[in-house]
Amino acid sequence: MADSGFSYSLDEIKQMSEDVLKVAKTHGASAAEAELSLSIGQNVSVRMGETENIEYNRDKGMSVTVYFGQQKGHASTSDLSLQALKDTVAAACNIAKYTAKDEFCGLADAALMATDIQDLDLHHPWGISVDGAIALAKECEAAALNVDERITNSEGASVSTSTGYFAYSNSHGFTGGYPSSRHGISCSVIAESDANMQRDYWYSTARAAEDLQTAVAIGAIAGTRTVRRLNAQKIKTCQVPVLFEAPLASSLISSLISAISGGNLYRKSSFLLDSLGKQVASSLLNIYEEPHLKKGLASCPFDNEGVATSPRQLVKDGVLQGYMLGSYSARKLGMQTTGNAGGNHNLIVQSGALDFAGLLKQMDTGLLVTELLGNSLNMVTGDYSRGAAGFWVENGVIVHPVEEITIASNMADMLKMIVAIGNDVLVQGSKQVGSILIERMTVASD
């Protein structure tokens, strides 16, 4: 299973993580946890048919957290020699002596540790050569440039590949680890018409190279998306339905997830405080967490604390079923960890019956958003305001592109005003969701 490019095998870094814990114990630590990782990768980029960058990365690291009762120390190193590991543990132990006691710190409960670490098919090394990657990137860019003669320039196309090993151990006796990989192809081009210039992009990412969109398809989509933005117009300030295109719809789900995540909850900096079991969104919204999807971009058998992950329904018919908690935030809230130390694991938003064309028809007249600028969400109040670009729609048909606008509302209201979720689902990250139609937002223009 080991890649020839790695200095250590997966079994070896698992053993190293266990050895680190033994060193911590000799320093008097009452508990400890250690994480080791190795990764190698390659990225090439081309621009206007010429090779622009060739990058290689070879990273390794170890981080250790030690506990002396309710005092905690943390240190990390990129040197995996035996002496460096010992010195890093000693540094963490020394730091712990100077930290204040925190009754909520410590390892996750031993009973929650993963015992059945299944293979989730996350490791698919891509043996593409540098020359092969350059040729693929050029093919992608050429496909974009060939879409329309108005595409006059390029920000480039890139092909990346990476693979790595990860191991985690803690003093409950838990040790786990697995290999993983991630590959991607992307392209961004510029179109010009009269005095108007526009850019857009497209990309594909997957665990296995064969699951990527083809380079030609990615380039063609990037080119098409760019040309259609030419000759954008401004519109008058209005209140209309807003359709978030699938690549952007995940940002709405991200805002919901942030609002129900432990850190924001125990700090009382969330617009969804005390919302467990309450209606937080439209009855159309159903969100499932599926951490064990084969080849999933956010799949994992255990979280960053060794806690077993498990499938669950996070939102049912708009009603919040659970929070996103690690052990620390769970203790602060008087609850139990949900196995989300480190983040969410493959959030699947249930699709409706409509495709993208059907969503436009249902919207009738309104704004299709294809780009968001800036990030203005007040997590405490839910107030939402972002720069945007997209297309004006009338009678269910795209009329013309628009730019230099701001869309505004309140996120708590937006979630409840979801009137349709499309089946045009994209798999580009940890959240899988189709386009989302919001009943009404304020669209402001100059």
Helices (H), 172-245: 215-227
Beta strand 347-349 pairing with 431-432: parallel
Distance (Å, whole) CA 377 – CA 383: 6
Q: Which of 145, 71, 61 is nearest to 101 (CA)?
A: 71
Q: What is the pTM of this model?
A: 0.92
pLDDT along the chain (446 residues), means of 10: 70 96 96 97 96 95 97 96 96 96 96 94 96 98 96 96 96 96 97 90 96 97 96 92 95 95 96 96 97 96 96 97 97 96 95 96 96 90 95 96 94 97 92 96 89
Q: Which of 198, 186, 183 is nearest to 141 (CA)?
A: 186
Beta strand 31-47 pairing with 151-170: antiparallel
The token pair that represents 239 in the structure block: 């209140």
Q: What is the pLDDT of residues 39-61, one digit of tens each?
A: 999 999 999 999 999 999 999 99
Distance (Å, whole) CA 161 – CA 130: 11
10-227: CATH, from 3.40.50.300, 3.30.2290.10, 3.30.930.10, 3.40.50.720: 3.30.2290.10
The answer to whether residues 302 and 120 touch, using CB atoms and an 8 Å cutoff, is no
Q: Which of 228, 151, 229, 162 is nearest to 190 (CA)?
A: 151
The answer to whether residues 201 and 186 touch, using CB atoms and an 8 Å cutoff, is yes
Q: What is the pLDDT of residues 308-329, one digit of tens each?
A: 999 999 999 999 999 999 999 9
Q: Which segments of the chain belong to CATH 3.30.2290.10?
A: 10-227
What is the predicted pLDDT for the residue at 225?
Answer: 96
DSSP 359: H
Q: Produce one character per residue of 226-261: b if its CB has 16 or more CB atoms within 10 Å, e if not.
A: bbbbbebeebeeeebbbbbbbbbbbbbbbbbbbbbb
Distance (Å, whole) CA 144 – CA 402: 22
Question: DSSP per residue over 102-171, as a string?
Answer: -TT-SPPPGGGB-S--------------HHHHHHHHHHHHHHHHTS-TTEEEEEEEEEEEEEEEEEEEET
Give 207's Cβ-side CA count (13 Å radius): 17
* C-alpha Rg value of the chain to the nearest Å: 24
Distance (Å, whole) CA 257 – CA 250: 10
Distance (Å, whole) CA 110 – CA 121: 27
275 alpha-carbon distance from chain centroid: 24
The token pair that represents 385 in the structure block: 């305001």
